[in-house]
Amino acid sequence: MVMGYRTSARLPFIAEHPSKQGLYFSLYQQALKSIGCTLTVRRAPKKRILKLIATGEVDFYPGLGSSPEREQYLHFIENGFMSHVVAISHKDIADIHSLAGMENKVLLTAIGSNSFDKKGFNIHIRQAHDLSITMAVNLLVNKRADFYLYNEANIRYYLKLKPNKNIKIHPCCFPSSPMYLGFSKKSKYAQAIPNSAAKSKEHSSQNRQQSLAPNTKAFAFKKALEKLKNDGEITRLESLYYH
């Protein structure tokens, strides 16, 4: 099974290309081994990887936020990790507690990254190619952007390894939530069936119209990840890599 990811690092989840080591590889290799599969990793710019996933040439992306566009070609599966997205900025910017605090400011994002509803906030977006946390920090320190959104655990891990007195973490802007992997609907390991748990015909991330067929490797992968979480293996891996 092929996992695709951008070439830049997201430590401790994955190292910079050409390395594939990190939490993602350790977890998914273990889950796939339990269902008789092996794991291959393909690295390329994120936008290109997502196109390959849409056509089924790559099977899944290890950590991905949902959006209406992505829902068209992806099944979303909880990977067992939790994500708490916060904002970072140059230390000279006053604390913000909501997206409204970014009004008239520049938010740095990666090309191909998930979008969110910015209506009414008047936030200016600056996109960067294959953006890494190191690149983001450098741009913020040099005041070429005002804010960057990223998973809090990864930011604190990065700043522990590379302390920077010019970077501030803000208590903004989203609640903690489960992290998902995106699995290609065109993958040979997946098959979509109507979701009997859907409460209406209106499609949303909380009311998906399709689910994975139980006789597929993708479904077995999903169940293997659930077992690893319930057995405490994900907590053990997080402790190993973060500490």
Q: What are phi and psi of 225, to 5 degrees?
A: -65, -40
Residues 155 and 44 in one domain: no
Residues 75 and 181 in one domain: yes
Residues 110 and 168 in one domain: yes
pLDDT in tens, 81-130: 999 999 999 999 999 999 999 999 999 998 877 766 665 688 999 999 88
Q: In this predicted structure, what is the pLDDT of residue 201?
A: 56
Q: In this predicted structure, what is the pLDDT of residue 79?
A: 98
pTM: 0.85
Let me know: does 110 contact 46? Beta carbons within 8 Å.
yes
Q: How many domains does the chain divide into?
A: 2
Last residue of a domain, one of 173, 199, 226: 173
Residue 67 has pLDDT above 80, yes or no: yes
Residues 75 and 182 in one domain: yes
Residues 73 and 125 in one domain: no
Quote the domain boundaries for residue 140.
Answer: 85-173
Residues 141 and 93 in one domain: yes
Cβ burial, residue 191 (10 Å; 0-12/13-18/19+): middle
First to last CA, the chain: 29
Residues 53 and 113 in one domain: no
Q: What is the rounded CA–CA span in Å between residue 164 and residue 145? A: 16
Last residue of a domain, one of 142, 173, 204: 173
* Whole-number average pLDDT of the chain: 92
Residues 78 and 181 in one domain: yes
Residues 181 and 77 in one domain: yes
Q: In this predicted structure, what is the pLDDT of residue 72?
A: 92
Q: What is the rounded CA–CA span in Å between residue 206 and residue 209? A: 10
Q: What is the rounded CA–CA span in Å between residue 42 and residue 33? A: 18
CATH number, residue 48: 3.40.190.10
Q: In this predicted structure, what is the pLDDT of residue 207?
A: 55
Q: What is the rounded CA–CA span in Å between residue 126 and residue 201? A: 36
Residue (of 61, 31, 59, 73) closest to 220 by Cα position: 31
Higher-confidence position of 118 and 140: 140
